[in-house]
Structure 1
């Protein structure tokens, strides 16, 4: 390969990585970005050899062909203390208005959160019909939350710990008169319904800004039942 062709190959690689970093990385999970790179290199085999050199020079560690930390998947279960607090609405507290609180927890931690077990389906009659069907066996178990993450081994524990810390704070009942978190949820519900009249309540003193599910965008969906 002559010098001109080699230089053109380098330019093509640089343009590709710049495009992925600028366009895809901010709005997708790192796993999808890595997948795009893998597909591109498969379709452009002549770039495979150059990819490793170029990626190293711009600090891109997760490119195919470069040794990287293994990606692992882990799930943590948190039991909901419904026996101790039978009248407390744990599901509503975790979900928030239209599931937004749970979505924010997911966006903030990049973990997936699932509400499972008895009471995770809003309609009790529907839950009764579903619990013996395949895929709904969890409805026969006590109410619980599953936190699922899939990340490189060197960061997955930190992500899970962050999510667990937030969720554990939500699973601690607070006196209604002191529950600033619930007031925030009620205010959000009023905003969604177009009935907001009062000023925004302050953030719960027991929850720092980095932990608050009210401080993150990029929400997806809430998951209960199945």
Structure 2
């Protein structure tokens, strides 16, 4: 009787049946093992016990660092390629593994190929170990890097831009920003250095940088990220992908990043013209629900309305002693044309002002007399009129005036 007719029951029976089955290879690895030995270190491939998520992650990082270090150490000591120590390279041990297509070949100045599968695999393993060592140094207390590990001074990564899939989007302009401000912001936030390289990074007619590699100019458009730590490179890749995703997913004319860049460029050029839209503020306050029967007008003393809504107005009181003055007809020209001339009344002259009891003002002072200079002499006074002398013999007698002289003759 086969095992399919009578399946095992219980936990122990199921575990025994699983262990008795033949372990098969997978697409990514060879026959699984419970324990692996790396030099003098033996580590278990099964995590047992009650561990927190942080502890489990730290153990996986430590295990992967030791595994990569053992592969690189064996390759260096035996002078054999790294691919010979990987299970994916042996088709007999892992026949289900499928390799990715190789990129187009690249050669250096001496004509040697620089992107062989061996070189690409070794560089990827070194970058992965460098990244895991940085994380383990911050999460594992008193962690010591493996023997033979040398921290690189600078590492780089290439992030390719999907220009062929979206030719209508200007990725270079979005990454650079107004006068390179967006690219500088990405560098400050990530701590890495970002450079746009490849085809289309330099305008036609301009030469590339003298220190730039000739192979990078012929490569596809990409962002070259350089830093001393792998964590900074990972952060720079994340921020750059956010800019690229926003440019791809945003509809035409609704990209907030591009709108902000255009506004900053207008501010830098001094051509920004903002039109402020007046805010519609509701000045009327909501009216509370009040019973109208409780409202009493202060003008007419009637309920049901407010004083400002009163129509009747204040009550008029009759005073017989007060007679309002009659308005006189206007003396305008139009009114005089209607009234006949014999009925027109002349306006009485205004009454003179009442005499004031205030003392009259003092008389004005006499005009000043002009003083003559000392050299000016007054004219001589006129001679006195002659006096009639009485003769000595006619004393006491009445004197008669002499006769007038005769008039002059005309002859």
TM-score of the two chains, using structure 1 as the length reference:
0.49
For the pair shown, the structure with the greater C-alpha radius of gyration is 2
Structure having greater relative contact order (Cα 8 Å, sep ≥ 6): 1
Question: Greater strand share, 1 or 2?
Answer: 1
Question: Greater helix share, 1 or 2?
Answer: 1
TM-score of the two chains, using structure 2 as the length reference:
0.28
